[in-house]
Amino acid sequence: MARSEILVGVEVGTSKVCAVVAESMRNEDLRILGAGLVPSKGVRKGEVVDLKLATECLHDALSKAEMNSNIEIDDVAVAITGSHIASFTNRGGITIPEGYMAIDEQALRDVAIKAREVSLPDDHTFLHSIIQHYYVDNQPGVLNPLGLIGRRLEADVHIIHGAKARVQNTLRCVDSQEVKIEEVVSGGLASSHAVLNDNQREMGALLIDIGGGVSDYIVFTEGVVNKSGVLAVGGDHVNNDISLGLRIPLTRAEKLKIEEGSALIGQSLPGEKITLKNDAGFSGKEIEREMLNTIIHARIEEMFTLIHKQVMAGISVHELRAGVFLTGGCSLLRGIREVAESVFDLPVHLAHDTGVSGPTPILNNPVYSTAIGVARFVQTRRAEEGDPSPIRTVWDQMKKLFGMK
């Protein structure tokens, strides 16, 4: 099997580290060969805070994935997230030199470079620059200007960037595993590759990947990325809230959230109680179900409200006809869809990964969507470039990050 057909997506997340090994199919589908998932340590809010612990977890996850897929992992693509990731849209343009000539590929490359010419904060590095639209002689909304006639070509580029040092931390973790880093992908963008299909992007969709430490969101309108961002609130916050509110340990709080919790209020009977099971010296404490749900509801609603505020500035509801898609581990929370519906006033779907086949039942688990998305991102990238093995060494990657040539 040619190496280039194997794709490995890695996510070093706040609650889990996972690696997905996939194979690229002829029909552009992705077949999952195996995956490794390990509860994460040393990661807070999507960023590595203890390199040693995180590296150990990653090592275990990669070993598991190798074992499950029976493939030796060489090149990996890594998802990056964290509150430091930010994005904006920039427009740049060039004048086609010899009068009215057809726009050729060189012009497209030039305009892409021109539009990328922005100054990021000193300590930041580019993660992605995605062309949104072209303008030919100020005519907006040109999707593919190749061959069109025009004097001036402009492009809107969505630029996603992150703090160099923090990106490095995650990469160092992977680097120590004797694998090559093929690609670095922002978490939100990666998830969108796993969850949204072309049709949904065309119709306009908001994807929210609610992870353990952070929530990545990304908005597609008319088939292209319109906005993206990271809100450093995730499932961990819900656990923390429950733990503080009910005065129970964090692990207990998480278990309670998964087993009993719901983001909906007013659904339980008045005075309905949950008895905390009597394990490990924990006396059978009773708590009110409504109290638990109130805590969860407040957090989830606030999270959606904040994202709504950031996303909906400048975008109308009609541009998001496909609606809102929720993925990530926390999207498994009961009632989360209803809360999202009430906040966004849009149809809300709990995403399950589409267009992926494979032997394992992991595919319907939103926990994997980022890692799968990373693999898919690389698949798309390779297809676009036409080069079967655009393998960059770690060294190249580092050089790129530091802006060296």
Partner 1 sequence: MQTFPKSEIPRAAFPARILGIGNAGTHLADQLSMSAGADCEVLAMNTDAQSLFASVTSRKSTLGAKATRGLGAGGDPEVGYEAAQESIEEIRFAVEGASTVILLAGLGGGTGSGAIPTAAAAAREAGAFVLAIVTMPFSFEGRRRDRQATEALEALTGQAHAVIRFDNDRMADLTSPLGGIGETFQASDALLTDCVTSFLEMLSGRGPIPMNLGNLLTVLRDGSSCALFGRGASQSDNRAHEAIERALKSPLLDRGRMLDDAEAVVAHVSGPPSLSYAETSAIMQELGRHVPEDARLFLSVSLEDSPASPVTVTIFGSYAEQPASRSVERPMPARTTQPVARTSAAPVPPVAPKPNLNPKQADTPSETDQPARPEADPPHEAPREAPHDPSPDVRTQPASDDFLHPSPPGRLFGEDGTIQPPPAEPPTATPTPVPPPPQKRTSRVQPSAAPAKKPATPKAHQETLQFEPAARGRFDKSEPTIVEGEDLDVPTYMRRGHKL
Binding site for partner 1 (CB under 8 A): 44-45, 49, 83-84, 86, 121-124, 163, 231-233, 236-237, 239-241, 243-245, 250, 291, 294-295, 298-299, 301-302, 306
**Is residue 199 helix, strand or coil?**
helix
Rounded to a whole number of angstroms, the distance between the first and last alpha carbons of the chain is 34
Min. distance of Cβ 225 from partner 1 in angstroms?
20
Q: What is the DSSP letter of 276?
A: P
Min. distance of Cβ 242 from partner 1 in angstroms?
9
Indicate the residue type of 115: A
Distance of CA 31 to the CA centre of its chain: 20
Min. distance of Cβ 192 from partner 1 in angstroms?
22
Min. distance of Cβ 380 from partner 1 in angstroms?
29
Q: Which of 104, 123 has the CB closer to partner 1?
A: 123
Min. distance of Cβ 303 from partner 1 in angstroms?
8
Q: How far apart are CA 211 and CA 230, in angstroms?
A: 11
Q: Which of 112, 306 has the CB closer to partner 1?
A: 306
Min. distance of Cβ 310 from partner 1 in angstroms?
9
CB 300 within 8 A of CB 208: no
Q: Which of 44, 151 has the CB closer to partner 1?
A: 44
Q: Which of 306, 315 has the CB closer to partner 1?
A: 306
What's the chain's Rg over C-alpha atoms? Answer: 22
CB 388 within 8 A of CB 378: no
Contacts of 296 (CB under 8 A, 6+ apart): 238, 241, 242, 257, 261, 262, 263, 333
DSSP 369-403: HHHHHHHHHHHHHHHHH--S--PPPHHHHHHHHTT
Q: How far apart are CA 194 and CA 201, in angstroms?
A: 12
Best CA proximity match to 120, nearest among 156, 93, 90: 90
Min. distance of Cβ 183 from partner 1 in angstroms?
24
Q: Which of 166, 180 has the CB closer to partner 1?
A: 166
CB 22 within 8 A of CB 71: no
Q: Which of 68, 215 has the CB closer to partner 1?
A: 215
Q: Which of 300, 372 has the CB closer to partner 1?
A: 300
Q: Which of 166, 382 has the CB closer to partner 1?
A: 166
Min. distance of Cβ 78 from partner 1 in angstroms?
22
Number of helices (H), then strands (E), belonging to the chain: the values are 11, 21
Q: How far apart are CA 267 and CA 297, in angstroms?
A: 12
